[in-house]
Structure 1
C-alpha cells in the first residue's frame, strides 16, 4: 500500500469498520472480559465503543475526510502517542490519523485500555499487511519527531516539560455541556441521558453540566431519564453516588436526587461522578456569552438550539458518536500531522 493512495487507506479502514460493527468471536471474548481488567469497561460500554468506532469508519466519510488534506510528499515521521484510557478505544482516532498520514505511530497505550487497541490494530494488519511496520507499542517514548499526548491539566504540565521541544498536541481536561430551553420533548431528554450516562460519564464528551432557563423545573427531565436507573447497580458508580450524596447531606448542600443521579447548582463545569451540575440563564444571548467564555474548557455542546459558538454542537444523544472530523479540543490532528 502506498501512503498516497487514498483508496487503499479507505478500503483498509472501512473493512476494519465493518468488522468492528459485526464483532467476531475473538472480539466478543474481549468485549465480555474487559471488565476483569477495568471495572468501568462493562460489556455494554465496550460494545458501544467498538460499534461507534466501526460506524465512524465508513467508506463515504473516510473518503470525504481524507480528501480534505494534501497527503502527498508527507509521512515517514515517528509520532509518539500518549493515549488516555478513560473510555474504551478513546485513543484510536489519534492512531488512525497517524497511520492515514503515512507516519509511524509509537503508541504508549493506557494500562486501562491496552487490549482493545492491540486487537483492533492486529485486525488492521490482517486486512492490509503493509500496516505491520507502521506502528509500535512502547513502554517508553523515545526517538520521536512529534507528540500527541492526552491527559489531565496536571499531566499536561509534565507533557509540556518533556515534549515541548518537538511539534506537539497536548490535550488537557475538557467537559461537555447541554443547553436546554425548556421546550425539549421526552425523547430528546431521554437521548440526553446517553450523553450523560454512556461510559458512566467518564468521557470528555459526556455532559457534566446543564445550562437551563431561570425557573426551570427538573421533574420532566428526571421522568425522561428514568430508564437509566439500573446504572446504580454498578458497584463503582454506586460508591460514587453514595459518597457524593453523604457529602451533600453532611454539608447541607442543596441538591436534587432521583435515586441514581444528583443535580446541584454550581458554577464549575466538572461534576463528580453520579452528579450533574447546572446553572441558569435569563436569555439565550447570556447563555451564548457564557459558552463563548468557556470555549477552551468545552469539548462539545449538546443542544437543538442554533448557537454562535466556537465549539462543536451536537444533537441530543450524539455526543459519544463523533465523526472523523470532530477533533478533540478542536485541534485538527490531520492538518498537524500532514504538515510535519
Structure 2
C-alpha cells in the first residue's frame, strides 16, 4: 500500500463523514459501504453522547464537520508534500509489503495513548500514524471510545490493506516501537517513566489565551465566544484566559458572550458554574459575571469550567516576553490586534478549526514518525 492509496482511503473517509453535519444528517448516494456504516455511525454517535454527557450531538457533529473538511485529497497532499522523507519511507513500505523480512524492519508499531476531553481528540495522531505507513495501536480514554474504532473499521473496508494494521486495546499495550501519549502534567511523569526509553512524543497540560486590546469589533468578540465555549471549554485549544489592557471595559465582551447563555441549559455546565461560584464567593474573591460565565483575575492559565481567568497588561512588549517565556504552557494565542513579532496568533473564532499542519504542542508528528 503506497502513500497515494492511503491518501485515497482517508479522502473516502472524509466523504463518508460529510453526511454528518450540524445542519443535517442525510445519507448520500454513491458513498462506498454506506449501507453497512451510515446507520451504525449514527448509533455510535448516540452511544458516545449517552456515555459522556459532555459529548452533545452538536459538539460531536462539530468535530466531525472539521474532519470531513480536512480529509480531502487536496488538503492531505498539501499537508504532506513538504516531507521529502515521507516519499522515501512510503516506497520502502511498499516494497516491504511484498517481503516479510523487510517489512519487520521498515514498518513500526506506534502506540497512541489518547485523551478523552473532546470528541475524536485523538484522530490527528491516528491519521498521522497510518498516513506515514506505520501500524497503529490505540489506547483510548473511557470518555471517548465509541467513534474512532468504528471509523477505523470503515477505513479497513475502503482500503483492505489497512486490515491487521489498526488495533485498539483497553488492557496493557502490546509490543510497540514508539509512543505518542497525551495527558496531564501528572500523567506525563508516568508516561516518561514507562516509555522514556522508546522514541516518544509526550504531551502535557496546555491552555490557550486571548489577548484583547480594546480595538476589537463586536463581530470579533462574538467569534471569541466560539473559542471560549465550544466543547464547554474542555479542549486545550479553548481560550481559558484573557489578557486585557489596564483600563479595559468588559461591557462589550459580556454583550458579545450573551449568545452562549444557553450553556446553562446543560446540567453539567450549570452545576459546575454554581459550584465554582460558591467556592469563589466563600473565598471572598472578586468576580465579574453575567449569569453563565465568571471572570476572575488570576495569574494561572487553566481556569475551571464556566470561568475565565484574566490578567491586565500595560506594555504589549512585556506581555509578548511573558507569553514567549511560558510557551510550553500555551497551545494557542488568539488575537487580531496584538502585533508582536515573536508571537504567532490565531484569529478569533478559529481555535477549534486547526489545519492539518497545526500540531499539538508544536511538535511535528509527521517528522517524528518518519524518523523513528
Per the shorter chain, which TM-score range? Answer: over 0.9
Which residue is 1:260 aligned to?
A: 292
Aligned counterpart for 2:15 among listed residues 4, 14, 18 = 18
The alpha-carbon deviation at position 294 of structure 1 amounts to 1.3
Paired residues in the alignment total 336
Structure 2 segments unaligned to the other structure (5+ residues): 21-37, 93-105
Residue 119 of structure 1 pairs with residue 138 of structure 2: no
Structure 1 residues 304 and 47: alpha-carbon distance in aligned structure 2, compared to 1, 3 A threshold = same
- Is residue 270 of structure 1 aligned with residue 302 of structure 2? yes
Task: Tell me by how many angstroms 1:17 deviates.
Answer: 1.2
**Match for residue 58 of structure 1 among 32, 56, 72:** 72
**Cα distance per residue 1:121-175 (max 9 Å; x no partner):** 1121122111122211122213111100000000000000000110100000000
Q: 1:179 touches 1:210 (CA, 8 Å); kept in 2?
A: yes
What is the CA-CA distance between 1:10 and the residue it aligns to?
2.1
Aligned-pair CA distance for 1:9: 2.3
Task: Say if 2:278 is the partner of 1:246.
Answer: yes
Deviates more, 1:13-22 or 1:43-52: 13-22
Instruction: Tell me what 1:101 maps to.
Output: 132
**Higher Rg:** 2
- With the length of structure 1 as denominator, give the TM-score of the two structures: 0.96
Matched with 2:26 is: none
TM (norm. structure 2) is 0.88
Which residue is equivalent to 2:206? 174
Give the distance between the partners of 1:36 and 1:284, measured in 2 at CA: 45
**Residue by residue, what CA displacement relative to the aligned partner does 1:166-218 show, whole Å, maximum 9, x if unpaired?**
01000000000011111111111111101000000000000000011111011
1:202-221 to structure 2, matched below 5 A, reads 202-221=234-253
Contact 1:13 1:57 in 2 (8 A): yes
Provide the rounded CA distance (Å) in 2 between the counterparts of 1:46 and 1:156.
27
What is the SS of the residue equivalent to 2:111? strand
Pick the aligned partner of 2:336 from 304, 323, 329. 304
Alpha-carbon distance between aligned partners in 2 of 1:315 and 1:125, rounded to the nearest angstrom = 37
> 2:218, 2:252 within 8 Å by CA — same for their partners in 1?
yes
Q: Say if 2:332 and 2:346, in contact at 8 Å, map to a contact too.
A: yes
What's the CA shift for 1:21? 2.1
Q: Aligned partners of 2:279 and 2:142: how far apart in 1?
A: 31
Partners of 2:39 and 2:219 in 1: how far apart?
A: 34
Which one is further off, 283-292 or 36-45?
283-292
What secondary structure, in the 3-state scheme, does the structure 1 residue paired with 2:180 have?
strand
Aligned-CA RMSD value: 1.3
Kept after mapping to 2: 8 A contact 1:301/1:314:
yes
